[in-house]
Structure 1
Amino acid sequence: MAAAKRFRFLLVSPYSLSERAAFQPGPRTGPKEAQLPNYAGIAHLLEDVEWELHPGAPATHGDWPVELREEFAITGVNRLPIVREACASGRYDAVVLLGGGDPGYLAAREIGHRHGVPVTSCAHAQMHIAGMLGARFSVLDISEVHNMRMADLVRLYAMTERCASIRNLDHPLPRPAAAGRPTLLGEEEKAARGEPSSMLEAAVREAVAAIEEDGAEVLILGCSAAYWLQRPLGRRLAELGWDVPVLEGYGCAIEMAKTLVNLRVDASGLAFPRDPPRRSRRRKFV
């Protein structure tokens, strides 16, 4: 018997590459389930959700995946009109922003609060849920430049005391700057076939180092293209005797959205004031 649909969510991809792009995170056509990366890992979380998937605004930073701060900034601005239209439509209980680097998240929350619609995102949700599971977390992330985006988010979300480390797997997204280097392309498929995956081996190595050397008690995955690591990495760590949660962003962001809807809150009006606010504070603390 199918689960009752209790929620109405719009899931928004960070950007949409052209058909000519060398790398696509998922199929561009077919059922929404096929177009949503990592659907198999989060399908159980969507059983009570009536959901739609927006492919994201057409990429204007270039026809390749995002890693640089500049690219995250461009992508974040591009998807704000999608968030604004969704929140104003009255069709959704919440908007879930996909993508590990959270492009446009704070501005999207400001939009959502004007309409009373919760907006969640992957890194933000992972960090907060990690804080419920242990004292400190480490981020397993894909490349040097993407690591810096995650470091920015740790500071932006006031998680510096909770973040034990950011560990680099050195398997960047397939993009012009990565030409001639090992990337994450094909690593998920290798692992699924039971073949050796250099990315999975790097994740195991860096996860153990994060636990043993950095004091991490929870692990989170920095890039959405690496979320497939959650299950095989968790199994490998368990085989080594490590009882440690491994989180991925899509599931955390979806569950965070459900929590906010159930609590009937979206954001503080002091953190995201309306323009103009009914009351203003004379002094702010940082």
Structure 2
Amino acid sequence: MRSQQSEFNKRNWLNKISFELNSEDLQASLDRMNQLVSNYALHTDKREIKGNYGVFVFSLEKGRLNALRRELGKIGTIGSEVEAVDTSLVNTNAEIETANLLSYEKDLSELDKIRVPSDAELRRKESLRAQIRRSQQKLDDLKRSDSYLVYVSVIPHGKRISAIRSVSDIGAYFLKTLGFMFVAAILVYYGTRLLMYLLALMGFKGITGKGGMFSPYQYGGYSSYQGRYYSSRGYGRSSKRRVKRIYKDKVTTPREGEEKPEE
């Protein structure tokens, strides 16, 4: 029905009105709509009946709009009613558009007399032809100012409710899925922590504790190794490397087995 509604909205008509009927008995309502259109329509533009809906587009005398509304209420429940006025036709009338049309046609006839028109004159002729088409369309629409273009759609009573229910079901499913993912993330986190704790109790090293796989202290491993390496080479602070000092001005005491130097 969206394509029919869009086509109706694009139609040039001074007064337009659309109705949406919700029916408990679709087939009976469609049969009554056929009779109603035959009795009220000045001209029927569309009469389309499908398995689960019906669309009717027709013109109606302005004075019979209230009577049509009452008859539609007997056929079904009026779910929505939208009335529109073509604003492009509000500030004009048949006399103004007729005068404009004659002026455009006169200018165009003058330009047609030129055997070899310039580029500007050719563009002017195209512009006049477009203005003539618009004025003719407006005149046709103004002649129908005493009538309405009517659009009526008939749908089962539960169709709109079902659509709303489907949207609510999708929203509920999304919220349930989001909640499930949140609970699952918490369970995985605490389950992992519990597993590491149990492995540590069973004697597995490198899981928790200082320097373990999941320990925050493991980032200092390289620096600790570096310190141990340089300490073993005697370059660190904790080096205990012996240094022998020799003092030249001081006589050293001879060790056992050595002779005392002569004076």
Length-normalised TM-score, structure 1: 0.16
Whose helix proportion is higher, 1 or 2?
A: 2
Larger RCO (CA under 8 A, 6+ residues apart): 2
Max Rg structure: 2
Length-normalised TM-score, structure 2: 0.17
